[in-house]
Structure 1
Amino acid sequence: MSRYRGARLRICRRLGDLPGLTRKTSKKQMPAGEHGQQSRKPSEYAVRLEEKQKLRFNYGLSERQLLRCIKAAKKVQGSTGLVLLQILEMRLDNTIFRLGMSPTIPAARQLVNHGHILVNDKIISICSYQCKPGDIIKVKDKISSKLLVENYLKFPGLAHIPNHLELDKKKLYGKVNGVIDREWVALQLNELLVVEYYSRK
């Protein structure tokens, strides 16, 4: 099962801020566990593993799904790390989250799975659907669907909508105008370390 259903704050304390996973913040500064206070320098493998785990938990992927994305990114010309981030950012669940239609990526995934979202006037229930420039994302013309998204829009997960997306709050629809730039990726991580992690396996 790809969904992580455990304690989210524990993951955030260990890996840092993950805006896609949860909006909660912990008052505790140290990582979880009895070894959280140790200040021993981590190994190179541990650093790469941590970056990979940030990616996995933020976007809500299983190991197999992330590996599939890495393989797809390697086939495309250009920086593998940047292409990987673009593949993950252009997923339907993440696009809904970045538009502010849901507070977190798991909440966006629920909207998609329950059939509240239309892409180009078709109901899409696959969270990993790759949005393309020109795609129009709408909320289903149903009172319960609209109320749900309107409540989410009052408290968006992130303050700013990326420059490749545009949102009409009154009509409850968003448009994908292009592919995301690196500086608009909300997650703080070094994607090259993730590529290195998989290339050394």
Structure 2
Amino acid sequence: MQTPYWLDDIEAARRTVVELDPRLARAHAQTPAFEWRRRVGGFEGLFHMIVDQQVSIASAAAIWTRVEAGLGGEVTPERTLATDIETLRSFGLSIQKATYGHEIARAHVEGRIDFDHLESLSDEEAGARLTAIKGVGRWTAETFLMFCEGRRDIFPAGDIALQEAMRWADGAELRPREKAAYVRAEAWRPHRSIAAHLLWGWYGAVRRGEVALEEPHP
């Protein structure tokens, strides 16, 4: 697993990204210092991400607490597979999420992916292994690799908030589609994860009304 940036590393990487792409200067100037959004990794981290999707933060936290308690305080592939779908649903999971939990656990147990040694794979190989699992889409795989595995050069271009922040940075009328956003993000290698954090931070600050989104000068 790659070690995430320390705070001074983040600041240095932000400056490098702006040097690589001056269009991010506004985002950098308007976004306070931030830490790496680190989450638990491995099977537990991916299952947790699936549980969190499409529900409120409070609901996700409550459901995950029940999942942890129901699995005996240790969320492992083996314990998850040993728990039937209906029991997982009794913890608050939808049948879809309970099924995806089994699919992820089965992929590990069957050796199709090894969460204990995922760091041995390149970003591309790890992403391919993850998206081969039913229920794990590209956005989920990319955000998992960034937040749970600490990978430094990931950019989840399908994220709407990132696309909107990119539109602001470029002064564009329309936000870029996913394919165009991937191409645009190439300019930020090898710090695409920091660029994503920066754009998310800027987007959140604007939406919360903490900073004014001024139109760039021609």
Structures share a fold, TM > 0.5?
A: no
Normalized per residue, which structure has more strand?
A: 1
TM-score normalised by L of structure 2: 0.24
Q: Which has the larger radius of gyration?
A: 2
TM-score normalised by L of structure 1: 0.26
Normalized per residue, which structure has more helix?
A: 2
